[in-house]
Amino acid sequence: MSVVRSTVTGCGSFLPDNVLTNDDLARQVDTSDEWIVQRTGIKQRHVAAEGQVTSDLALEAAQRALENAGRKAEDIDTIILATATPDNTFPATSVTVQAKLGITHGFAFDVQAVCSGFVYAMTTADAYIRSGISERCLVIGAETFSRILDWEDRTTCVLFGDGAGAVVLEKTEGSGTNADRGVLTSHLRSDGRHKDKLFVDGGPSSTQTVGHLRMEGREVFKHAVGMITDVIEDAYEATGLSSEDLDWFVPHQANKRIIDASAKKLGIAPEKVVTTVQLHGNTSAASIPLALDTALKDGRVKNNDLVMLEAMGGGFTWGSVLLRW
Ligand code: UT7
């Protein structure tokens, strides 16, 4: 039986030049390289230059993804950009990227699911492709979290970074089995009862300010591993696949301890885990495509590999996408 699948045909990423190390931060707030590395695994993060906005990072990542896919901008009919740090309250940052790419057909919109944004955007693009609305999507995760951090709050400012990643997701034909390339299954969840555990204390309708990120880190940590493993088990149940079948586990990069504990609980071998949090910090919606691009460019992820993506973040939102590359 022939079925429609959505297959990744190209990937790209972009990081701003400016690198902020843990030692740099220790000169600004009461922290240390030792504390940050021990609690999070993070050693450095990238920070956007003055005037460099989310759409600038997104555009670079999108252009690299298009090049990697051997596609031109005009081949794209849909842009879905996941971000919690848009250039402006509106219009959507994706339409700025659309204009900068010179695309005047199709449509573009943003997805807001904070750190789970890329998983939500991939799931949305896959659904649009399988329903016949779209044929070739640019799925982007791009963030400038440096703009919403309270740089005097050591409990949050050491954790996040800026960056962008993108994939080209295209309509392909499959046989309807797990051997197909493309997205095999995806599972999204949210539970707004947790919205005050990780939020931004401003917004157009409430304070008319942008606000700063606030987090009860220990509370987020407490829920993270259980939520992540739940949606991955949903993917296993839907496909009959298991951790042993995975070639790569590409989790949202928030904290090495959360990544390691999730992999351990699921029985995923450490050598299958792609970890970039040490270099990028938590780049929210950008972290998964940044990690994917790293593992693609260093030769780890290859065509036909089975790849599990997962994320959990503010809301809480969480989700998994299982795909064959
Ligand atoms: O993308 C998804 C969203 N985010 C996350 O997934 C983050 C989830 N949470 C975490 O990763 C961890 O909870 C943190 C890394 C944020 C914190 O690690 P923790 O082991 O949960 O530490 P803690 O919050 O329990 O704090 C331990 C101590 C506290 O001091 P006292 O009360 O024990 O005296 C903090 O004040 O560490 C102190 N502390 C710091 N010390 C040095 C907090 N931040 C820092 C810091 N440097 N930057």
- The model's pLDDT over 281-318, given as tens digits with 9 standing for 90+, comes to 999 999 999 999 999 999 999 999 999 999 999 999 99
Q: Number of folded domains in the chain? A: 2
Whose CA is closest to atom 44 on ligand 1?
155
Neighbouring C-alpha atoms within 13 Å toward the C-beta of 23: 0
Cα 158 to ligand 1 centre (Å): 10
The confidence score (pLDDT) of residue 1 equals: 78
Beta-carbon contacts of residue 131 (< 8 Å; ≥ 6 apart): none
CATH of the domain at 114: 3.40.47.10
Say if residue 118 is in the same domain as residue 255.
no
CA of 154 from ligand 1 middle (Å) equals 9
pTM: 0.98
Looking at the structure, do residues 137 and 276 belong to the same domain, yes or no? no
Dist. CA 39 → ligand 1 center (Å): 7
**What does the alpha-carbon distance between residue 301 and residue 294 come to, in Å, rounded to a whole number?**
9
If asked whether residues 116 and 13 sit together in one domain, one would say yes
Tokens of 239: 């496909």
Is residue 29 located within the same domain as residue 170? yes
| Nearest atom (ligand 1) to Cα of 154 | 48
204 lies in the same domain as 135 = no
**Residue-number span of the structural domain to which 123 is assigned:** 3-174
268's CB contacts (< 8 A; 6+ apart) are 243, 246, 249, 262, 308
Pairing of strands 3-14, 44-46: unpaired
Query: What is d(CA 50, CA 115) in angstroms, rounded to the nearest whole number?
Result: 23
Span 169-186, average pLDDT: 98
Q: What letter does residue 103 receive in the DSSP assignment?
A: -
> Which residues are known catalytic residues?
115, 252, 282
186 and 154 assigned to the same domain: no
Q: Which of 133, 158, 174 is the last residue of a domain?
A: 174
Per-residue pLDDT of 249-284, as tens digits, reads: 999 999 999 999 999 999 999 999 999 999 999 999
Pick the atom of ligand 1 nearest to 40's CA: 15
Between CA 290 and CA 46 the distance in angstroms is 12
For 2-7, what is the mean pLDDT? 97
Ligand 1 shell residues, CB under 6 Å: 31, 35, 39-40, 115, 154-155, 158, 198, 217-218, 220-221, 224, 254-255, 258, 282, 312-313
Strand partners, 150: none
Residue of minimum CA distance from atom 48 in ligand 1: 154
For the segment 21-51, what is each residue's pLDDT rounded down to a tens digit? 999 999 999 999 999 999 999 999 999 999 9
Residue 64: helix, strand or coil by DSSP?
helix
168 plus 213 within the same structural domain: no
Mean pLDDT of 170-183: 98
CA distance 130 to 110: 20
65-91: per-residue pLDDT in tens? 999 999 999 999 999 999 999 999 999
- Distance between CA atoms of 307 and 284, rounded to whole angstroms? 19
CA-closest residue to ligand 1 atom 39: 155
Q: Are 7 and 137 in contact (CB under 8 A)?
A: no
Dump pLDDT digits (tens) for 223-240. Answer: 999 999 999 999 999 999
Domain boundary among 148, 174, 200: 174
Q: Are 6 and 126 in contact (CB under 8 A)?
A: yes
User: Which of ligand 1's atoms lies nearest the C-alpha of 156?
Assistant: 16
